[in-house]
Structure 1
């Protein structure tokens, strides 16, 4: 198999795993391809973010504020099948409802959503929509591209530094994720940082700080309460990065104004 063909197959594998986008069947598929395709998770996230950005910019020509924001978020949910949002709800149910790592993992595998999961899902989606609603079409579109690519980059970083603790027989990721190499991680981070090259203001630095801070907080909580990560935890990390990035970008004009005062 040529190098180019293998990379294309890995990209298609990442697209199949993270989205509902129709893709060609993968011939000679090997289960380990899912782990190896993690290098392309941020690129898939960037493409999802660009679709959301186009939806936001287009909807902003007809509506402003909440309607445009919700339509952009709906586009992302349709593309991914709420893959990461499901992980967010399951993770908060498990972290909030169990007394031991084993019990928390059991709760996370329950298909029913609980109080902690419902609250986390509702609050995160509402906060993201509210932050996005206050942005101009151009700034909001850029922020969506950055948040989606960066969120998947944060998930790849978690894969690199945390052990996998999910249930193999019932996990969404089979076989268990195998070790992610440093070159694979760095390859992924290049794609995660691509939209930052078009940064319209210093907002990108604030977005990275708050988005990375929220993602890191959840990763550390998962390490303490579960012993590592699961597929659901990666989804939650991605969502927390998105939330932090959008909140920071929305707050950046006010923060920069305060810093500019004598």
Structure 2
């Protein structure tokens, strides 16, 4: 009897270990892509960076939740335009403008007709040039205009949808493309995601869409257009990166996230304006 109890407890132990490992992967992604502190028990191993990207869209749940909460609180006190700006500011603080910086670097690196090596050197430079300043300025302005044009409930829904979906757009690049640099901040992420890992990312990125539709916060047609536009943005930057650099970079992942996020807002606006 004692032996059967010990055997019976082994599967539970394995499941507990597996769950703990998946939690560690999520917190590793959260630490890498945001400024949020993580519990001390998580620890760190470089190998975790190679597999935490499956939870990249789940980090978008956190970013979307924070920005939607800030918008909701601010909108109850100030005009919608102010609330939208405050929600955008909260997102920038939360992530340290990580993705926006990548988008600006891609604009600088690929804005001119330069070689692959020169483009990569430009993208490594911490200074911003004309293309980068212009690109990120237009990106932020378009985000503000599209969000401000949505009804109040639609703004909250858009934030909750766009942040996970746009991070799924970046995960697609890791899944289907090779890393273009020999070294760099994203080099630990520069491995091909396995199909099973991408399936987890797709579930994390797609579930909010389903929940928002079922809750009546966003219309089905709006979500379909939003996800189609997000996919188009991700596909376009993937094509540009492949043609110019032969693969993705960390900055390219940031650009994919930004274009996919904007695509979500534009797609929703087509239906909800």
TM (norm. structure 1) is: 0.92
CA distance in 2, matches of 1:203, 1:188: 22
Residue number in structure 2 paired with 1:160? 175
Q: Which one of the candidate residues 215, 219, 232 is aligned to 2:234?
A: 215
Aligned to 1:239: 258
- Map Cα deviations across residues 96-122 of structure 1 (whole Å, 9 max, x no partner): 135211111111001100111111100
Q: Which of structure 1's runs of 4+ aligned residues deviate more than 4 A?
A: none
Equivalent of 1:48 in 60, 63, 66: 63
1:26–1:224 CA distance, 2 compared to 1 (3 A): farther
TM-score of the pair, normalised by structure 2: 0.88
Matched, 1:141 2:156: yes
Deviation for aligned residue 1:155: 0.5
**Structure 1 position 212, deviation (Å):** 1.3
The SS at the match of 2:55 is helix
Gaps of at least 5 residues in structure 2 are 1-13
CA distance in 2, matches of 1:130, 1:188: 29
1 CA distance for matches of 2:46 and 2:252?
Answer: 21
Distance 1:176 1:70 in 2: 32
Query: How many residue pairs are counted as aligned between the two chains?
Result: 252
CA contact (8 A) 1:32 1:178 kept: no
Contact 1:13 1:26 in 2 (8 A): no
Name the counterpart of 1:182: 195
User: What's the RMSD between the two structures over aligned residues?
Assistant: 1.5
SS in 2 for 1:106: helix
Structure 1 unmatched runs, 5+: 255-262
Q: Distance in 2 between matches of 1:116 and 1:208?
A: 27
Tell which structure's C-alpha radius of gyration is larger: 2
Name the CA distance, whole Å, in 2 between partners of 1:27 and 1:77. 25
Aligned to 1:131: 146
Separation in 2, partners of 1:24, 1:91: 33
The structure in which a higher percent of residues are helix is 2
- Aligned counterparts of 1:238 and 1:135: Cα–Cα separation in 2: 21
